[in-house]
């Protein structure tokens, strides 16, 4: 027997097995206790926050003259929109480094994807006609049949991506000025509105642009 009275007659194999049976549970428990903190470090996610600051004004008169001018122009551009389906008219004005202003309005189409937003219309016009003149700011205003929207209207996802590409192309930030009846918001860069954005750095190296 393994634990008989005559310990001298224990077989070496039996002695080894008894030792393993005794040590293994203790070692396993010790292993788990020490492995716990390591597993926690491996499985616990790193929590990060994304936030940004922007300026808000209650009256256009509080803006500097250049910003005030393109806000007024954006409102006028919204009146030129073709939006018979949504009744939601948007105007955008891009101010370029030279001082030029380029306007755009949303143009809708019965085949829905064929339309274009005001922001993209303005940027497409500026890039097509003044490719070396960098955009510094874009003002956006929206209207319904009741007039200027009370709240600021932010660019849609497609327009944010296009503004982001233009920032990447020129290497400069584009200030975004959102105008509503009740307030005006000024954002320093599209990266604030579109964090973790898709860019030319995302495609794989074996897929050149």
The CATH number that applies at residue 98 is 3.40.140.10
For residue 18, give both structure tokens. Answer: 């008894």
Confidence bin at 1 (pLDDT 50/70/90): very low
114 with 63, same domain? yes
20 with 115, same domain? no
14 with 82, same domain? no
- Taking only the tens place, the pLDDT of each residue in 83-97 is 999 999 999 999 999
The span from the CA of 118 to the CA of 139, in Å, is: 10
pLDDT at 203: 75
CB count, 10 Å around CB of 41?
8
Q: Are 162 and 123 in contact (CB under 8 A)?
A: yes
105 with 164, same domain? yes
How far is residue 1 from each of residues 6, 13, 41, 118, measured CA to CA in Å?
Answer: 9, 12, 47, 91
Structural domain harbouring 140: 55-193
The structural domain count of the chain equals 2
87 with 179, same domain? yes
- Taking only the tens place, the pLDDT of each residue in 53-66 is 999 999 999 999 99
pLDDT at 199: 85
Is residue 115 situated within a structural domain?
Answer: yes
Is residue 38 situated within a structural domain?
Answer: yes
Whole-model pTM? 0.76
Catalytic residues: 119
Burial code (b: 16+ CB inside 10 Å, e: under 16) for 10-22 equals eeeeeeeeeeeee
36 with 71, same domain? no
């Amino acid at each position: 027997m393994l634990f008989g009275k005559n310990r001298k007659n224990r077989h070496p194999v039996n002695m080894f097995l008894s030792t393993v049976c005794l040590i293994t549970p203790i070692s396993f428990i010790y292993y788990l206790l020490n492995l716990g903190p390591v597993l926690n470090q491996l499985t616990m996610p790193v929590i990060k926050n994304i936030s940004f600051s922007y300026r808000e004004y209650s009256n256009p008169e509080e803006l500097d003259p250049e910003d005030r001018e393109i806000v007024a122009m954006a409102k006028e551009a919204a009146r030129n929109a073709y939006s018979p389906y949504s009744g939601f008219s948007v105007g955008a004005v891009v101010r370029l480094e030279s001082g030029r202003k380029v306007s755009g309005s949303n143009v809708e189409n019965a085949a829905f994807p064929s339309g274009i937003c005001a922001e993209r219309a303005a940027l497409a016009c500026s890039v097509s006609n003044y490719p070396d003149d960098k955009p510094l700011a874009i003002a956006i205003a929206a209207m319904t049949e009741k007039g200027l929207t009370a709240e600021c209207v932010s660019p849609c996802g497609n327009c944010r991506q296009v503004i982001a590409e233009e920032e990447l192309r020129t290497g400069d930030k584009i200030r975004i000025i959102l105008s509503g009846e009740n307030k005006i918001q000024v954002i320093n860069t599209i990266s604030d509105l579109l964090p973790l954005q898709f860019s030319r750095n995302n495609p794989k190296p074996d897929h050149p642009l």
